[in-house]
Structure 1
């Protein structure tokens, strides 16, 4: 995907550096329309950037008085700047702040999603910088006494003599949680730059240091008597402002709209203008998402673009995307690809407003530390992915150790892990294919406001629903919520009984599961309306073209996944899935791992769909 690449030159003095840098750039260039900045090479440092010509369109590096910067991403707010009509680029402003103050204190005032590399020739230092949440990915490693950075892992393959070694703990994480925990990556010795971090490489001493420039404990907690009405009012104001400051003049901004609450809230908060809003929704025929999103779009007078996913078209482009996304996302969770084709075929918009992390506003991320067990085992459904009890315990232990290391609440745990590595997959997939995204819920002021509130208020008072009903009543009092099938607010007696019944069924299933007895009552309830959900990968995996493809991958005598999984167990899982048991999530993770390993080590199926 578009991003940054580069290295300090110490390890490569005997090679043609421009060839190495060019190859790294080509490795992350997946589309012909990507733009490439010039290759910057001096005595100490080599670097470049690939981009979509949407954000930071000016050529980089931006260089002034011995300082150079590459910036990937954008700022929504920076001190002393008017963002509707910015006078200088984000990169130029960043460089001027560093030049004036010679430190990184100004980073705390930036609200944005970005990664940056700053080269200071005066101090002979390289600085790798992440945004507050670490959402614009930047990987780094020290290779043969040189610092190397890249926005995609696979670019490291261009380094002379580099041989990646798979981190087995990362494989366990991926197969157990759908993503890799913390700053770990597929490759041993390669890390993801942590959130809110400046990593500094001294070019002369070839030494490394790092500093966290912001942490959650800097937020002052709200104390004293809480007026919920005032909180709801303030929450609404901050949210609307977060949406508005992500829509700039003369930009083509649209929205991917679901049947949930979050993207609908963004749609409702979008300012009315002369141009019509383009809204795209994907899902299987007659699903709740398509039906509900259409109602919301009509209310906003937006152009509605439905996209139907089915057993024949759902797999299109996903095999290729495993390679392009560094194997970071399971095949069955790449639904966003379906929206992209229509967005580009009809030339609808360049920037998508995405509802990522909206559930966090409603306490969905769990604020209290006691929620760790629930968060991992129930919220993420670890039992459904674990191949064995040893696998489950290994992942849980690693997750628990990470939890202790950061020393904070489950809110931070989920932002640092699930949101960064799993929830943000749509934004990365969009970026690969030429679509930039903005996420109003990941707004500094909004996050600080919520984190400052007492845990019980956020967890129990339903502030989010109150705010939605107060600010956008026409969007929520009559239009249903996809999760419940009813509008939010006071649920009907029938719904309350149904909800209690569902909880009782789930509790009964868990009791029987502990005794080793399968009792899939919840699954049977879903079969009453199989098209209610926007996707049905369990069924689609049993149909062509997926069935033949998956069988070839799983049964091939030279398959690579048996290095990490028991082949007999995987085959048994596939057999049981074909005969009605839903093991789609688990099997898809195995198939994704196999594709990634083949692409990485055997150069097989890097770009084309497997027939």
Structure 2
């Protein structure tokens, strides 16, 4: 895991930018405390910078930027390619000579051999920039599900790119401007969808895409993977036993690959099925005790999973570590998080992830496995179960003419039909506007209508995601769509974002076994009835893990990693919200006094208070940090 920065200009106009790029690079020191490097193209078309966190081959041979033998290909890279030993052997058999034992060098020689097709051969998480001196072209690429971040912008015709937004803001000519449509997306959904960010003109490189910028100035943006593409087909499974066996083998292989490291590997443990599965599978192949890490909250038993984590740690005989988060810890760290996050994140779980990452680093674990993605792939939330129960009725309703469905959906909203039933009614109408109005955090309120000023753009990401799913999957199954969109939406833009930023804030690498792309392909194409069966969520996953994970952890009621944010920091957060956010009205003409008055009222409604408080507070701290 590392941090990368770079500049490219086909007009060969990067002269004099070295010092600024070095400053931008060193803002990423937390991502790479072990080494730093810079390469300047002799032709002045490209400059590449790198900060290194040493994981594979700890020697100086892993220094970046890295080049091939004749120095015509240069690479900066963030991430891990887990199948690098196999790729290395393949390339050596083709005549390539390696000077290191790093996964980085596999990308360099792989590009020499296969060109851009090397990207599809990589199994792992990555964001990289590769400059081809002969062709004078730049290749940017990001992994399939968006585990590693990648941002880019242009300034005066020059392309700038980096692992984090803060580095781009430190580069020449980049203006700090609020993207008002992105702000609306954040308030509506709690996230900003790719390719936008909260900063106007700064874009995310989409997951599963590469961008090729040629010397002529032509730019090609290409998607190289779909979970339904089956470019690496798995053996077909025709019954439950085959699905169970294939799933177990894929998960075991994924964990095994993610234990490839030259530094200690640990696991975040809550005692739930996902994290316990990671511990169980690690224990099968680990030569010594697995190190496990968990966090709890002082005096807040309702939010605390430490007892479950201890039980799992005791069963698997791990070296277990805990941290108890106190109100003082919480209040001290909240302002600091805005620096590491770069954008507001509507998920207070960011806080315990920060502290448990700190705990891991303090105890020498540089690589950590977590359980993100499992709930989306295997229907682990109550909403999936409820949708499946209602699906037969929904299909009948969906066969009605659209004008009838739309009328019923609108009426249901006015009558207050909420929850899953209301959601499915509006979904069946095929009206994205109705769907968002029924499911947004501020649904059915005047404030929500204010957010939707410029509504067509706000709806874009959801509408395009639905269209892409139906075109690729050739399915209108709603639960399949929920799994697909859960990965594209919540997992990519919240879970992976918070894991990367909070892990990197403490200079640790977080790996995600459930998001191995072979496992994702298999799970998304699995029959839904195997995911929810006999009233049990994650049915097939639990069946696959039976005998490996004890029953008490397989069937433990889902608690979730919640935070006592309202109990500990409610008044402080509200003060910040109503001090800072009104400046958005004076600075940018958004969030009217009426909107703020409505927020003041809603923050006193117990049901909404914690979630809404955090959403608005993290927006306020972000705005104060970046737009003082």
Which TM-score applies when normalising by structure 2?
A: 0.78
- Name the counterpart of 2:367: 351
Report what 1:437 is aligned to.
510
Give the CA deviation at 1:560: 3.5
Gaps of 5+ in 2: 91-97, 399-419, 471-480
Superposed displacement of residue 411, structure 1: 3.4
Whether the aligned pair in 1 keeps the contact of 2:271 and 2:311 (CA below 8 Å) is no
The separation in 1 between residues aligned to 2:599 and 2:116, in whole angstroms, is 51
Paired with 2:47 and 2:222, the residues of 1 have a C-alpha distance of 23
Q: Distance in 2 between matches of 1:573 and 1:583?
A: 10
After superposition, the C-alpha distances for 1:456-508 in whole angstroms (9 at most, x for unaligned) are 444557684444355344744234755358xxxxxxxxxxxxxxxxxxxxxxx
- Aligned equivalents of 1:116, 1:224: Cα separation in 2: 33
Match of 1:293 in 2: 309
What corresponds to 2:165 in structure 1? 153
Question: Match for 2:323 among 307, 316, 319?
Answer: 307
Closer, same or farther: CA 54–215 of 1 in aligned 2, 3 Å: same
* In structure 2, C-alpha distance between the alignment counterparts of 1:411 and 1:348, rounded to whole Å: 35
- Structure 1 unpaired stretches of 5+: 486-531, 603-611
The answer for the alignment partner of 1:539 in structure 2 is 567
Does residue 69 (structure 1) correspond to residue 75 (structure 2)? The answer is: yes
Comparing 439-448 and 576-585, the one that deviates more:
576-585
- Asked if the contact 2:380–2:537 (Cα under 8 Å) also holds between the matched residues in 1, the reply is no
Q: 1:426 Cα deviation (Å)?
A: 2.0
Offset from partner CA, 1:133-173 (integer Å, 9 cap, x none): 23211111222111111111122222333213221111111
1:3-46 per-position Cα deviation (integer Å, ceiling 9, x unaligned): 11111146894862112211211333358935322343432111
* Residue 64 of structure 2 is aligned to residue 60 of structure 1: yes
Q: 1:167 aligns with which of 168, 174, 179?
A: 179
Cα distance between partner residues in 2 of 1:210 and 1:540: 46
Q: Which residue of structure 2 aligns with residue 520 of structure 1?
A: none
Q: How far apart are the structure 1 equivalents of 2:602 and 2:528? A: 43
Q: Could you say which residue in structure 2 is the equivalent of 1:517?
A: none
Once residues 276 and 580 of structure 1 are traced to their aligned partners in structure 2, the CA distance between those partners, rounded to angstroms, is 44
Structure with the bigger percentage of helix: 2
CA–CA separation in structure 2 for the residues paired with 1:578 and 1:151: 39
Which residue of structure 2 aligns with residue 507 of structure 1? none
Distance in 2, Cα, partners of 1:139 & 1:176: 23
Q: Secondary structure at the match of 2:138?
A: strand
State the Cα distance separating 1:320 from its structure 2 match: 1.4
CA distance in 1, matches of 2:143, 2:183: 26
Q: Output one character per residue of 1:359-408: Cα deviation in whole Å (capped at 9) or x when no partner.
A: 13313497999999569969995235773235369387234332245344
Q: Is the 8 A contact 1:129 1:197 kept in 2?
A: yes
Tell me what 1:478 maps to: 552
2: CA distance, partners of 1:147 / 1:164: 16
Structure 1 SS opposite 2:583: coil
Deviates more, 1:447-456 or 1:89-98: 447-456
Deviation readout 1:557-583 (Å, 9 max, x if unpaired)? 973366432345435534653575642
Q: 1:567 to 1:31 in 2, by over 3 A?
A: farther
CA pair 295-465 structure 1, distance change in 2 beyond 3 A: farther
Q: Any idea what the Cα deviations from partners look like across 1:409-428, whole Å, max 9, x if unmatched?
A: 44333322221110111232
The answer to whether the 8 A contact 1:119-1:125 is kept is yes
**Deviating more after overlay: 185-194 vs 112-121:** 185-194
Q: Does 1:594 align with 2:594?
A: no
Q: Is the 8 A contact 1:147 1:201 kept in 2?
A: no
Judge which range, 272-281 or 359-368, deviates more. Answer: 359-368
Q: How does 1:266-345 map to 2 (within 5 A)?
A: 266-272=278-284, 273-284=286-297, 285-287=300-302, 289-330=305-346, 332-335=348-351, 336-345=353-362
